A and B are shown apart, each in its own frame.
Chain A
């Protein structure tokens, strides 16, 4: 029985592996699940997408492994978040040493190109503990409208490799954006009653999301990306949260939640874990589901009247 089941699974896997190259035209490697989701939306069954950071792992603590070198080497297209978020990709590209995959090469796409960037700070471009917020805030995929800009770049990059399929990429993109638009209307409606509501978040992941859904993230539990809060900072957050009438503490996956929970308890407001990436929490398996989940969670948390 056991062996039979195992054989069945093995057969299924072989079938998938065997079937995939027959359909796929373009081999795409994306650094994050979000970029992979957008590539899949445009490429449909004309592409095979691999993600370097496995779903549901901390992108800040990512350490490339030998297989990633191989994945990058054989990619027809490399899609990255840029803005220092996936800085570890640069040495990887350098190791592979293929001109095609380097900045400005035909197989290289920095998806942040053309996105209206928020929170541009000068000074350091160095990473401060984990991913950098040096150039600008890198969490731009959390605004659904930015998907239009990112997917436009993906269409161009895919069409460079498979010019014959350009029309299909364009059609896929339009279908995806139409669906996204319809859903975005719904998400905005469900969050419209909470416009201007104030939050405290753990990490500064939400400026793009807040802009689209008209929310106000007043401060962060971590004083700087990757730094744990001091008691003085927590006391300051409590005082500030009371004064500003913060309605919830928003917390990212992967980060220890003790401080956020303590803060929520002290302020008497709900603690809510939102997904920062596709697949970072259960029920966020694609780009639509990511926002579906976050909008539903926020609406539920804010919809219940305060005790």
Chain B
């Protein structure tokens, strides 16, 4: 536990810094309606880093950073130009094309400098878990500087983000402010993407800002809510990743999505005017019941139509209640089913035991000769063969059990679900007529 806390402290500090700056840019990006601009900029900066790598510079060297920055600046210029394009085609389409082309170009450059693949892998997945003290200090300094710049320029920047054709400003002024915005945005994304990865950076950017926008239209309120929600989601992500033993980046993305869903529910069921509230709650209740009934109906029909196929819901039900296929078998079959399960465990235990013996002999006592290794391998192969045999027995018997469940479980479940859905529909018709 102590190890875990010391492991997670720095990543958490980094993710708070990321949330603070990205949620702010997210508010802008949502207003501008170009949510994928960060992906395009990040990919262009990755392309720059890859080109630097191909030229023999390390990604962390000043030259590597210079290349990344140069390509980001080109991206910022292209995105600035997208305001003009918007008259002919959606800006999102333009941004998407920029992203795909930059990605493809990166793949092609890597093909000429193979070691760069590691760098690109890192940009995609990131590794927020291993961020260092110096990195976090660097992020804080950089984001403080960019935050200060945006504070001084808040009026023009907010104006051009909010209006597609801002009034009272020359085209040149608009282009300058656009470029300042995209360049600072690019610098932020370039710095965060190598640590957090493309997926997580996208979540930092968009999800908190969306949550803020659900609850308010005022920029400062949106920001405060976004920051709170982002930090909450980060805490949930790190905790979930540790407790459930899952990769951190992907778990955090899931946590951000979950916080978004909860925020949406809270808005619909709690933070609305009283009149809408009870109606919304009724609708939500109906949706939950109806979708459960539809799921049960579909699953029981599937069981009736094809009992031998994969039955995910039935399997989940069996696992949750402990009512396995064995309960639907004759006593003799049940014994066979259960002993097959025991044998499978035993055979795999033997395989593991042989592996452990071979592994210990690598460095302890007398080494095993090749022929002994071959004999161990052939034992293991036969144990695996036997395991597969037992697996087959279980599959056949499970099919038999499902054949019985087909009518004993599938039919009643289907009838109950149909009746339930029918009642819901009837009630709805009734209340509509009353109105």
Contact = CB atoms under 8 A, between A and B. Distances in A.
Contacts of B388: 122
Interface stretch (A15-23, A170-178, A209-217, A298-306): A209-217
A228 B247 contact: yes
Given A54-B114, A254-B118, A121 B351 contact: yes
B72 interface: no
Contacts of A228: 125, 127, 247, 249
Interface string B373-389: 11001001101110110
A122 B363 contact: no
Nearest to B121: A256
A230 B115 contact: no
B149 to A, nearest CB: 30
Interface string B104-121: 000000000011011001
A261 interface: yes
Secondary structure dominating the interface of B: helix
A214 B367 contact: yes
Nearest to A214: B363
Contacts of B248: 230-231
Contacts of A233: 245
B129 A262 contact: yes
Q: How large is the interface on A (under 10, 10 to 19, 20 to 34, 35 or more residues)?
A: 35 or more
A227 B351 contact: no
A254 B119 CA distance: 9
A154 B129 CA distance: 46
Nearest to B355: A119
Interface string A53-92: 0111110010000000000000000000000000000000
B127 A232 contact: no
A230 B377 contact: no
A234 B7 contact: yes
Contacts of A235: 1, 3-4, 7, 242
Nearest to A263: B130
A55 B359 CA distance: 31
A62 to B, nearest CB: 10
Q: How large is the interface on B (under 10, 10 to 19, 20 to 34, 35 or more residues)?
A: 35 or more
B245 A120 contact: no
A61 B125 CA distance: 15
A79 to B, nearest CB: 21
Contacts of B4: 231-232, 235
A266 B8 CA distance: 13
Contacts of B242: 230-232, 235
A55 B115 CA distance: 10
A231 B114 contact: no
Given A119-B355, A259-B127, A231 B363 contact: no
Interface of B: 1, 3-4, 7-8, 114-115, 117-118, 121-122, 125, 127, 129-130, 238, 241-249, 251, 347-348, 351, 355, 358-359, 362-364, 367, 370-371, 373-374, 377, 380-381, 383-385, 387-388
Given A55-B114, A231-B7, 14 more contacts: A58-B118, A117-B377, A121-B384, A196-B364, A215-B362, A215-B363, A228-B249, A231-B129, A232-B241, A234-B7, A255-B118, A258-B127, A259-B130, A262-B130
